[in-house]
Homo-oligomer: A and B are copies of this chain.
Amino acid sequence: MSEPRLTYRERARDGRARTGELTTRRGVVRTPAFMPVGTQGTVKGLLPGEVAALGADMILANTYHLALRPGAEVVAGLGGLHRFMGWEGPILTDSGGFQVFSLAALRKVDEEGVSFRSHLDGSLLRLTPEEAVRAQEHLGSDVMMMLDECPPAGAGRDYLERSLSRDARWAQRALAARSPQGGALMGIVQGGVHADLRRRSVELLTDLDMDGYALGGLSVGEAKEAMMETIAATVPLLPADRPVYLMGVGEPADLVACVGLGVDMFDCVLPTRMARNGTLLTARGRLNLRNARFARDPEPVEEGCGCPTCQTYSRAYLRHLFMARELLAYRLNTVHNLYYILNLMAGLRRAIREGRYQAFARQVMSGLAGDQGEEAA
């Protein structure tokens, strides 16, 4: 047996919520963890040191985008993604599959893999489980994701069942393709909102003893209740000594709820994208800088917030920058929103350690419920 590439150590548990440490080859990640998204090798507008200072231990990078531009081999030739972008901590990469299934035109899946056209130049490309691992290894990923199919919306049971079975074969191929120096490799549990299919997917993947398990195919349009029920039913089926990663979820209320269901890792573009759209996250809900009432408002975005933006700048200044389309708007807003989310995760970890997850969750939820009545971006 080789050295494990990823180890999860639980430090405390409170109901189904748990807190612990995920050890990667590039350092420790405190869980539950939120990974800021650095799609193209940058968390938009921020320097790596700033992202770390806001409380992020690990970031996510998108293999699809980087493989198309500048190219995974190009990044490899420049010493890998860590060196390329100047981030020294752990990086989780997705397989590229999600983008192929959502962004790319003319995708076609078969047993071998998926064919698609680049959203950049329309060129015909092919992604296989082996190629996804190869690209992620070129990037120097610490935690890789297997290639899976993202089934089309409204796919029926039969489709989902065939798909998740093929996913399991792809998982096996991904494991076989991984080089001895490769990073950890996580499986992705599919099965839509069908508890029995999720169970089947878990069985197939856990048989392969992967480094961790993600819940895929959620937060893609299904009802929130169905999503939560699926998570609640699936997490207990997974081995307790492996991290559980819920892909693409980042609404504050969802983070709190899903941590309560035992999820350890999250990523989402929500805080960073909203920031660029002028929407700021606060304990009392969202604040939209387009609102004219902030034009002369000398207060910080959030009273008592410890982020660098709130330390120095007024709502009036942030609104001015945003209305004037100034670059600094996106940067200062991103700093605040990432801080908000990362600080929320720190609060959850603390609450779990202190056995008061329920009280903390109630408090966050009731603040968010007293929403400031702002529109989402």
* Nearest neighbor of A71 in chain B, beta-carbon distance: B295
A306-343 toward B: CB 8 Å interface, digit per residue (1/0)? Answer: 00000011101101110110111011000000000000
Grouping DSSP codes into helix (H, G, I), strand (E, B) and loop, the A interface class, with mixed when no group exceeds half, is: loop
A274-306 toward B: CB 8 Å interface, digit per residue (1/0)? Answer: 000000000000000000000110100000000
* Complexed CA–CA distance, A46 and B317 (Å): 14
The reply to whether the CB of A44 lies closer than 8 angstroms to some CB of chain B is yes
- The tally of residues in A whose CB lies under 8 Å from a CB in B reads 35
* Complexed CA–CA distance, A54 and B28 (Å): 34
The reply to whether the CB of A12 lies closer than 8 angstroms to some CB of chain B is no
The reply to whether the CB of A224 lies closer than 8 angstroms to some CB of chain B is no
Asked if B323 and A45 sit within 8 Å, CB to CB, the answer is: no
Contacts of A298 in B (CB 8 A): 78-79
A64-95 toward B: CB 8 Å interface, digit per residue (1/0)? Answer: 01000110001001110000111000000000
Interface centre among A313, A316, A327, A331 (most CB of B within 10 A): A327
Asked if B326 and A327 sit within 8 Å, CB to CB, the answer is: no
Asked if B323 and A69 sit within 8 Å, CB to CB, the answer is: yes
Decide: A320 near B70, CB < 8 A? Known: A86-B312, A296-B77.
yes
Copies in the complex: 2
* Nearest neighbor of A313 in chain B, beta-carbon distance: B86
A37-54 toward B: CB 8 Å interface, digit per residue (1/0)? Answer: 000111011110000000
* Nearest neighbor of A85 in chain B, beta-carbon distance: B317
* Complexed CA–CA distance, A70 and B326 (Å): 13
Asked if A317 and B84 sit within 8 Å, CB to CB, the answer is: yes
* Complexed CA–CA distance, A295 and B74 (Å): 8
Whole-angstrom distance between the Cβ of A301 and the nearest chain B Cβ: 14
Asked if B326 and A296 sit within 8 Å, CB to CB, the answer is: no
User: A325-377: which residues lie under 8 A (CB-CB) from chain B?
Assistant: 326-328, 330-331
Whole-angstrom distance between the Cβ of A244 and the nearest chain B Cβ: 31
Asked if B314 and A78 sit within 8 Å, CB to CB, the answer is: yes
Asked if A40 and B320 sit within 8 Å, CB to CB, the answer is: yes
Asked if B44 and A328 sit within 8 Å, CB to CB, the answer is: yes
* Complexed CA–CA distance, A41 and B328 (Å): 10
* Complexed CA–CA distance, A197 and B312 (Å): 48
* Complexed CA–CA distance, A317 and B78 (Å): 9
Give 12 A-B pairs besides A40-B320, A42-B326, A74-B296 with Cβ atoms closer than 8 angstroms. Answer: A42-B328, A44-B327, A44-B328, A47-B328, A69-B320, A69-B324, A70-B295, A70-B319, A74-B295, A84-B314, A85-B317, A86-B317
